[in-house]
Amino acid sequence: MSCFIAGDMKALTNKQRLLYAQAQSTFFRIQTYDKNIRAKRLVGNATMSYYVFKEGEEALYNMGQRLLFQNDPVNAANGIYNSVVKI
């Protein structure tokens, strides 16, 4: 998913919108990677490891996850944005 989910947020500055979009994008990218690794591990490939955050990236990941919980409560309630490795 590459679109920005703004929910009820209104009157964002362009700087805020760009930061929030980057945070959500970071969350989706890492979440997709980790879901693929989890699927491979479930079928027996234990050699693969989950994503290792680069400097500053974990904060963006967490921000993206929080924004998605806030702005998409239906999918959040269904567990769509739950972390793959922090279960």
CA-CA distance, 67 to 52, in Å (whole number)?
21
pLDDT of amino acid 87: 47
3-state secondary structure 10-79: CCCCHHHHHHHHHHHHHHHHHHHHHHHHHHHHHCCCCCCCCCCCCCCHHHHHHHHHHHHHHHCHHHHHCC
How far separated are the first and last CA of the chain, in Å rounded? 22
Domain residues of the chain, as ranges? Answer: 14-77
Q: Render pLDDT for 37-85 as a digit per residue (tens, 0 to 9).
A: 999 998 988 888 999 999 989 999 999 999 999 888 888 998 889 888 7
Q: What confidence tier does 33 reach under pLDDT thresholds 50, 70, 90?
A: very high
Q: What is the mean pLDDT of residues 15-24?
A: 90
